[in-house]
Each structure stands twice: as C-alpha cells, then as structure tokens.
Chains A and B, each alone.
Chain A
Amino acid sequence: MEQVDLATGKNRTPEMLAKNPAGGLPFVELDDGTHLAESVAICRYLEGLHPEPNLLGKDSREQAFIEMWNRRVELNLFAAAARAFQHTSEMFKTRIKQFPEYGATQRETVANQFKWLDAQIGNKPYIAGDRFTIADITAEVAVDFAVQAAGVPMDPALRNLARWHQSVSSRPSAKA
C-alpha cells in the first residue's frame, strides 16, 4: 500500500489525476495497468478474487439486500457526515466553496440518521441481519467519522447503535 497525503493535496497532482481522474482515494493499481477507484468497487473486485468469507452476499436476494443496506448507510449517514465535515472544517476552507449553514443542516441529518439506524438495528446483531457484511464496515467507518471528524456525538440513549458499534469495533479488522 502506497500512502498519498490528502492533507497536502497530493491526490490532486497531475500524476495522480492521470491514474484516477476523480481525484479520490483509495484506488488499486492492477498488474495490467488498470486503475480501480471507488472503495466499494475495489471491495467488489476483492470479493470476486476471494469469495470467502462472504461480505457482499451469496444469492440474488442476499446480494441485493446487503447492497441496499450498504447504500442506505453510505448515502444517508456517511455522505451527510462527509458534507458536514467538508462544509465546516479548516481542511476544506480553501478547497471548496464552503456553506457552513449547509454543513449545519448535514450535522442534523447525521444525528437523525443515528436515531434511524438505532431503530433499524433493533435486536439484530449486524446491520444487514445475522452476519457481518460490508454494510457493517461502511457503518462503522461512517459512525467513527461522524463522531471524530464531523463532531456529531453518539447519544448513549441509542443503545442498539452503541451495542452494535462496540461489537464491530472490537473485531481485529477495526484496527486496520
């Protein structure tokens, strides 16, 4: 793995943009020269190479169900936390046109998503049901980012969310 320093804008240099024109991280460079960007696209490639343990679903129904949950977490929680951070942080001050007012609405969205997710988790051990999947990875990273970077605290009254977060955070993979 090669480090690209986002804090100093190294992902926006012409050499990096030639590899990934969208400028994001991470991306994979395959031996045939193909550059694969977008986290979930990279995960799907890795799942194809190493189907076990399965993290993206086995049959039609399960693949769709896990994708639904991964997207719900990504588009509603993670994306809102990212926008809250981008529109209020020092790091993005000179990179994008910031609208702190918009960032504030996104913080509220994150807080509401925490509540929503708590209700949806209920008694389930994991986000998409009875086993650990990519939806748990996305949700764990999103919650950590929302709390640590976007400054939205996790209300301890949300017990299901707290119980789930504690469980996935204690897996060895969480240290990656």
Chain B
Amino acid sequence: MKIYDFTGAPNPRRVRVFLAEKGINNVPFEQVNIATADNRKPEFLKINPMGGIPVLELDDGTHIAESVAICRYFEDLKPEPPLMGVDAKDKGVVEMWNRRMEFEVLGMAAGSFRNTSDFFKGRIPQVKEYGEVCKSAAIKRLEWLDTVLADREFIAGPRYTIADITALIGIDFGRTTQIRIQENQKNLARWHQAVSSRPSAKA
C-alpha cells in the first residue's frame, strides 16, 4: 500500500491530516510533483486517469483516487476514532457538513486560486472575473461559518470530524488569494485556533 502525494497541495493534506487523526502512520508516501505537471504524464494517468492527487494504491493493485474516497477506506479499516459519523443519521450529518465545507469553502478558495493565479496560467482557461466571484463567495461563507460555530465546538457538532479537516484546509488554502478569517469572527477564530493546534494539523 502507498499514497501518491504532493506536500504543497491542499487535497493530499486532507488525507495526511485524516491519517494522523486515526493514528495510522505506516503508509508510505510517494511524491508526485504537480508543479512540473508529473501528474499529467502518461505513466501517472494509468494510475489515475483524472490526473489528480492524492491516490491510494492497494496491495491488489487497485487505485483509489479522490481524497474523501481514500478517507472512507481508512475509516472502514480503522473505525476509531470515528471521523465520518457513527450511525445512519450521524453519517448523514457529517457528510452534509463535509460537503458544505468542500463546495462552499474549499471549492470557492480553489475556484479563486485556479482562475487568478500564475500557477494555473496556461493550464486551464482562466476567467479572472469568475475567480473574483469565488473569492467573495468564500469570504461570505466564512461569515456564515462564524455564526454556525456560535453554539457548537466543531463544524458538524460536538465531535471533531472530517468536516473540520476540510474546513481547516479550505481556510488555510484561502490565504493564497487573501481569503482570511476577519477580526470580528470570534467563533471561527476560536475554532481555527483549536483545530490548528492539534498535532494532526502539521501533517
């Protein structure tokens, strides 16, 4: 088993933080340099025809791409501590919050970066104005998240879950295009401080 990884990118970090929270530390990582587009080379496209990272390679040769799919594999393999919910309702609630964090926070930060950064110039057709719309949407979503966190410790409720990991990485990645927690967003700042100070955040 191994994971194709790139330490500078947001999605692989989701899996590394998840594994750190699970206490799984025996999976080897192999770096794939996305800065030089190694993930778009024919050899890598055999591993993941979408070209994205991270990818989990199982001993039977199966390749699992998509960060959350990889997390789900490890959640089932090692259910404790639960990071994706404990019963039908809780699993639904955690998935709802994780998806909100994915689409509304991480997705908007990514849309902002992809459409305005030099990194993606020439790789995708960039529409700068759309990037600006994503950025302002992300900023609005942080205001909303601050109100959500007024009466709960973590994003999906009283327990730390995958939704916290996605939100943390979305907010941290937002810094690349100046999407930041505002001074008056005390609940969000308190939460961010708490999740950032867990040892897993360094993964």
Contact = CB atoms under 8 A, between A and B. Distances in A.
A68 B50 CA distance: 11
A45 B127 contact: no
Given A61-B58, A68-B65, A105-B127, A41 B93 contact: yes
A72 B65 CA distance: 9
A45 B73 contact: no
Interface residues of B, number: 35
Contacts of B66: 67-68, 71-72
Interface in B64-83: 64-66, 68-70, 72-74, 76-77
A67 B68 CA distance: 8
Nearest to B65: A68
B144 interface: yes
A60 interface: yes
Contacts, number: 95
Given A44-B95, A97-B133, 15 more contacts: A36-B92, A37-B96, A40-B95, A45-B89, A45-B91, A61-B62, A61-B73, A63-B73, A63-B76, A67-B69, A68-B66, A71-B66, A71-B69, A99-B129, A102-B127
Interface size class of A (residues with CB under 8 A): 35 or more
Contact of B88 (A45, A60, A120): A45
B56 interface: yes
A64 B72 CA distance: 6
Given A22-B104, A48-B87, A41 B130 contact: no
Contacts of B68: 67, 71
Contacts of A63: 72-73, 76
A162 to B, nearest CB: 20
Interface string A104-117: 01000000000010
A148 B74 CA distance: 38
B8 interface: no
A34 interface: yes
B99 interface: yes
Q: Is the interface of A mostly helix, strand, loop or mixed?
A: helix
Shortest beta-carbon contacts, A-B, top 7: A48-B88, A45-B92, A64-B73, A41-B95, A67-B69, A60-B76, A41-B96
A64 B64 contact: yes
A7 interface: no
A120 B50 CA distance: 10
Contact of B127 (A38, A47, A65, A99): A99
A76 interface: yes
B44 to A, nearest CB: 16
Interface string B149-165: 00000000000000000
Contacts of A65: 62, 64, 69
Given A40-B99, A68-B64, A68-B69, A101 B127 contact: yes
Contacts of A99: 127, 129-130, 133
Contacts of A48: 87-89, 91-92
B92 A22 contact: no
